[in-house]
Structure 1
C-alpha cells in the first residue's frame, strides 16, 4: 500500500480498493459489446482511472490509465471501421487517464500532509498529557481525553499525577478557549505542576506557583502579540498525604466539583468558591483555600471537565453525571473501579450527545491502592541519591 493512501475497502486487513476500477473496466467492455454498434459504450472507460484516482494510489491510477487506453484500442479495433469510436474518444480516454493520475498524486500528497499533521498532534498530546502507569505512586488511575475537534486530537484539557516526598499530587483542569493557545497554556501549567508538585511541601504553595505561572504565561503571550490577555484555566489540585490514608487535600480553582464514588454511593465533594487560575487579582490576590476532605480507601475520586457536564442530547438536556454514575454503581459496585468508571462515563457522554461533543472532554479517576503502594517519593529520591 502506498504511503498516505487511505485504507479503503479492506478485507481481512488487506486493501482491495484496486478491485473496483477493474470491475468497472470489465463492465464497460461487456456493455460495449452488448449494446451493439448503435450505442458504443467504450468511451466510458475513461471513468476507470477517474474512480482509481479517488481510492487508489498514484502508480495504481497511472496503471489503470494505461490499461484503459490499451483496452480502448483493442476493443475499438475489434469493430468494423464504420462503427469504431475513433480518434476523438481515444484522446478523451488518454487525457482522462493523465488527469486522473495527476489528481491521485495531489490527493496522496495531501493525505501525507494530513498524516504528518496528525503525527505532530499525537506527539503534542503525549507531551502535554504524558502516559501514566495504571498503578503509580500509590494510586490506581484511569483517564480518557476526547477532543471536540476529532481532527485536531488535542485541546486545552489536562491532567497529571506527580509523586513527591510529601505525598502524591493530582491536577485536572481545563484552559479557557481552544486552539494552540490553549494547548500552550496547558503545557505551561503542567510543567509548573510537575516541578512544584514534587518540591513544595505545602499544597498552598503549589497552588500559588500555578497562579503565578498562568499570569507569566499570559503576559509573555501578550508581549509576543497574542490575544491571550484574558485567558484563564479552571483546575482542581489534589494531594494524597502519605500520613493520612483517609483524607485528601484539595484546592478548587472554579472547576467542576469532584465526585467520590464507592460501594456506599456517590457524593459530591465541596466545589469551593475559588476563582480560576489567572483571576486571583479579581479577589484581591487571594487564592482558594486548601480543604481537607475525607475519602475512604474504597472510594474512587472522579474528576471531569465541563465537556461531560455540558454534554446535551437532541432535546437539549444536559448529561446528569451524578445520577448516571450512582445508577451504575448501584447496579454493580465493581464499576467504582477507575478503569470501569472512566469507561462508563465516556460511553454515557457519547451516547447522550450522539457522539457530537461541543467541548473537549476529559474523564479522570483515581483511588488509593490497597496498602498505599509505598511512599510515593522513594523511587525518585533513590535516583537522586545516585
Structure 2
C-alpha cells in the first residue's frame, strides 16, 4: 500500500536515493581511505603499529647477532614505511624514535663493532626524507578526496536522489560510469511527477567528457520543468528538442566542438488517471524498452523517432505511442552500455533472452530492484567487468493496486488523493 503524503509535498523535495535492496548505496572511496580503514581497530588508527614492530624487531635482531653482522642501519626502513601509511606527525615521531633507537643500540656495542657516524647520518636523512614524502602523500590524498567530492556532488546534482515511491511509481536504478574516477557521464534519467501525471526520462548524450555532462544537465533541467507543467507529452518532447538545439548552438558560438552532438532518449508518460493501464511513449532514436510481465518479456515498438538535436534533418516529430502497461508490469529502460556490452568473443549481451530466462526461473525478477540488480550483474559478467561506455539500468512500474483501491478507482491509497 502506498504511504500517504500531503499533496503539496507530492511534487516537492525528494528523499534519499535507495540502493538495490532498499539501503542507501555506499559511497565509493579512494584507495587511500580504504587503506586507512584497514588500519583501524575499535575506531582508532593503528597505522603506527607495523613500523613500530619493525623497529623493535630490527633492534632485537641486532642485539642478538654477532658483531660482524650488524643490521641496525636497517632502521632507516621504519620511517620509510611509516611515510606510506601514517600521517605526517606520526611519521616524524617514528623518524625521531628510529634515530634514538639507533643511537641507543649502536652505543651498547663495543667501539670496534659500532657502525658510527655514517649510518647515523643515513638514518637521520632517511627520517627527514620520509617525513617530507609523507607530507606530499597526505596533500595528494587530500586533493584527491576533494576532487572525488566534487565529482560526487556533480553526479548527485545531475542524477538527483529519488525517494522510494516517487511519482507513485515503484522504481530502481543503477548507474555505472565507464570512467570510475569521473563517476558521471552522458547518461541521464529522472522521474518527474506533475500536474498531469508522472513523466519518466532516460537518455544518453552522444560523446563523452564534460561536454556530454553539460548536455545531459541541460536536458534534465528542461525535463523537470516541462514535465511538471505541460499537459501533453508531445509538448515536453518539443521542449527537449529545442533545448538540445539551443545547447548545441551555444557551444558552437563559444567555439566548442559540439556542433554535431545529439542525444538518444525515451520519454514515458504515466497518465494521472489511476484506472488507465496504458503509458505514452516517445522514442528519440533509443533502444526500445522492455516490458517485464508475469507471463514473459516483450519489446515496445521503436517509434522511429530521431535523436534529440537532429530535428533540422526532418519536419516529422517523433510519434507518440500508447501502449498497454498494467500495474505490476515493469518497464525496463537501459542505455547502450548494456545492449552493446561484449564478451571476449565480441558477442553482444543478449538482454531480452537473459531476462526472460531469469523470469521463468524466478518471477520476482520482474520487481524493479531485483531486475536492475540482475541486469547489472549480468552485464558486468558478460563484459568481464570492463565497461567501455556509461551504463544506466532503470526499471519502473505502477504499484499493484489492492482490492480496496480497485473498488475506489485507486484514489483511496493514492498519495494526496482528493
Instruction: Provide the TM-score with structure 2 as the length reference.
Output: 0.86
Give the alignment partner of residue 54 of structure 2, picking from 17, 20, 24: 24
Give the alignment partner of residue 332 of structure 1, picking from 362, 381, 391: 362
2: CA distance, partners of 1:77 / 1:375 = 88
- The number of aligned residues is 377
Contact 1:262–1:333 (CA under 8 A) maintained in structure 2: no
2: CA distance, partners of 1:316 / 1:374 = 50
- 1:302-357 deviation digits (Å, cap 9, x = unpaired): 00111111122233222111111111111111221111111111111122222211
Contact 1:164–1:376 (CA under 8 A) maintained in structure 2: no
Aligned pairs for 1:283-322 within 5 A: 284-322=314-352
Q: Note closer, same or farther for the CA distance 1:323–1:132 as it changes in structure 2 (3 Å cut).
A: same
2: CA distance, partners of 1:10 / 1:321 = 42
Q: Note closer, same or farther for the CA distance 1:143–1:63 as it changes in structure 2 (3 Å cut).
A: same
Verify: 1:76 aligned to 2:106, yes or no: yes
Partner of 1:280: 311
State the superposition RMSD in angstroms: 2.1
Give the alignment partner of residue 70 of structure 2, picking from 8, 33, 40: 40
Contact 2:169–2:398 (CA under 8 A) maintained in structure 1: yes
Partner of 2:39: 10
Q: Note closer, same or farther for the CA distance 1:32–1:39 as it changes in structure 2 (3 Å cut).
A: same
Contact 1:260–1:300 (CA under 8 A) maintained in structure 2: yes
SS in 1 for 2:194: coil
Alpha-carbon distance, 1:378 to partner: 8.2
Verify: 1:143 aligned to 2:178, yes or no: no
- 1:13-50 deviation digits (Å, cap 9, x = unpaired): 64433222122212222332343221221111111111
2: CA distance, partners of 1:181 / 1:375 = 46
2: CA distance, partners of 1:220 / 1:272 = 29
Alpha-carbon distance, 1:272 to partner: 2.2
- 1:206-251 deviation digits (Å, cap 9, x = unpaired): 1111011011111112222221111111100000112362111111
1: CA distance, partners of 2:412 / 2:301 = 27
Contact 1:76–1:84 (CA under 8 A) maintained in structure 2: yes
Alpha-carbon distance, 1:146 to partner: 0.9
2: CA distance, partners of 1:312 / 1:10 = 39
Gaps of 5+ in 2: 1-31
Gaps of 5+ in 1: none
Contact 1:242–1:375 (CA under 8 A) maintained in structure 2: no
- 1:156-178 deviation digits (Å, cap 9, x = unpaired): 11100111121110000011111
Partner of 1:214: 244
Instruction: Provide the TM-score with structure 1 as the length reference.
Output: 0.93
1: CA distance, partners of 2:414 / 2:242 = 25
Partner of 1:227: 257
Q: Note closer, same or farther for the CA distance 1:12–1:24 as it changes in structure 2 (3 Å cut).
A: closer
